[in-house]
């Protein structure tokens, strides 16, 4: 089945440690996204990538880093510089047809808790 | 798109009653519009989308939405809700021609269906 996988589902880390969240898609989509979700704040864009080896900052990129070495993969690293990293993280991907975008498809999410 | 406002943070409703979840947006250009649903601790699933054409859009699970350009609204409706519709619903907007297909999300509406 085609889709997006995120691992792990739950992740616990000590303050001061970097942590990498995995996102893999087999939908052959060019674009991939990372969002952060906090209660009552909707989804906020962290980083996005339209093509391999290229990515752009979203609205809340500080304290995060990404890479896009393969079309299928878009890992997110939450660094120790992120002041409030505890949140639910969602990865998404999208393609387009003749310049009209498909909707974004979402993974199941990773809940990160930092203590 | 510059912003998306979901006018109700919580909507309680009895089973088999109709429901409307309201969404307004602001943008200086033409937009694409989406409604997503999120069940607890899961990713987002697309309910329906408006790209062009008929302003009345039908989606999954019996939901529909109407695009009103003059009022910059895209309200979601269902004539008779079920307990299983209890979830959080997000309205999202993307500018036509927006590079990267970025979405701007509303803050979400929690729909609670009571027996």
Query: A51-84, pLDDT tens digit by residue?
Result: 899 999 999 999 999 999 999 999 999 998 888 9
- Confidence grade of residue A95 (pLDDT, cut at 50, 70, 90): confident
**CA-to-CA distance for A14 and A115, rounded, in angstroms?**
5
**CA-to-CA distance for B98 and A57, rounded, in angstroms?**
15
Which one, of B42, B87, B47, lies nearest residue A90 by Cα? B42
Given a cut of 70, is residue A101 above it in pLDDT? no
Strands A43-51 and A31-37, sheet pairing: antiparallel
Using CB atoms, pick whichever of B51, B100, B107 lies closest to residue A100.
B51
What pLDDT, on a 0 to 100 scale, did the predictor assign at position A74? Answer: 98
Class of residue A86 by CB neighbours under 10 A (exposed 0-12, middle 13-18, buried 19+): middle
Given a cut of 90, is residue B85 above it in pLDDT? yes
Instruction: Determine the average pLDDT of the residues in B97-114.
Output: 86
- Confidence grade of residue B34 (pLDDT, cut at 50, 70, 90): very high
**CA-to-CA distance for A62 and A78, rounded, in angstroms?**
10
Mutation target to probe the A interface, by most A beta carbons within 10 A, among B33, B100, B107 is: B100
**CA-to-CA distance for B37 and B87, rounded, in angstroms?**
7
- Residue with the bigger pLDDT between A96 and A11: it is A11
Name residue, tokens 């509406």: B109
Q: What is the residue-averaged pLDDT of chain B?
A: 92
**A94: contact with B, CB 8 A cutoff:** yes
What pLDDT, on a 0 to 100 scale, did the predictor assign at position A100? Answer: 67
Asked if B103 lies within 8 A of A96 by C-beta distance, the reply is no
Using CB atoms, pick whichever of A43, A88, A111 lies closest to residue B105.
A43
- The rounded percent of chain A whose pLDDT value lies above 90 is 76
What pLDDT, on a 0 to 100 scale, did the predictor assign at position B1? Answer: 61
Tokens standing for residue A2: 């085609």
**CA-to-CA distance for B109 and B8, rounded, in angstroms?**
6
What pLDDT, on a 0 to 100 scale, did the predictor assign at position A1? Answer: 60
């Amino acid at each position: 089945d085609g889709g997006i996988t995120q691992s792990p589902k739950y992740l616990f880390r000590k303050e001061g440690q970097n942590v990498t969240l995995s996102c893999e898609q087999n939908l052959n989509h060019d674009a991939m996204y990372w969002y952060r979700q906090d209660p009552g704040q909707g989804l906020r864009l962290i980083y996005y990538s339209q093509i391999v080896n290229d990515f752009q900052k979203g609205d809340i990129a500080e304290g995060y880093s990404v890479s896009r070495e393969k079309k299928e993969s878009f890992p997110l690293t939450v660094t120790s510089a992120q002041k409030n990293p505890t949140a639910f993280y969602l990865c998404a991907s999208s393609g387009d047809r003749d310049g009209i975008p498909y909707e974004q498809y979402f993974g199941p999410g990773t809940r990160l808790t930092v203590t | 798109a510059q912003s998306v406002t979901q006018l109700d943070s919580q909507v309680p409703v009895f089973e088999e009653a109709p429901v409307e979840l309201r969404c307004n947006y602001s943008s200086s250009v033409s937009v694409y519009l989406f409604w997503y649903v999120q069940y607890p601790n899961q990713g987002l699933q697309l309910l329906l989308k408006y790209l062009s054409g008929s302003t009345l859009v039908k989606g999954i699970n019996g939901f529909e939405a109407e695009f009103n350009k003059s009022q910059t609204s895209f309200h979601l409706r269902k004539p008779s809700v079920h307990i299983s519709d209890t979830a959080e619903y997000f309205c999202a907007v993307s500018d036509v021609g927006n590079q990267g297909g970025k979405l701007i999300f509303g803050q979400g509406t929690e729909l609670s269906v009571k027996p």
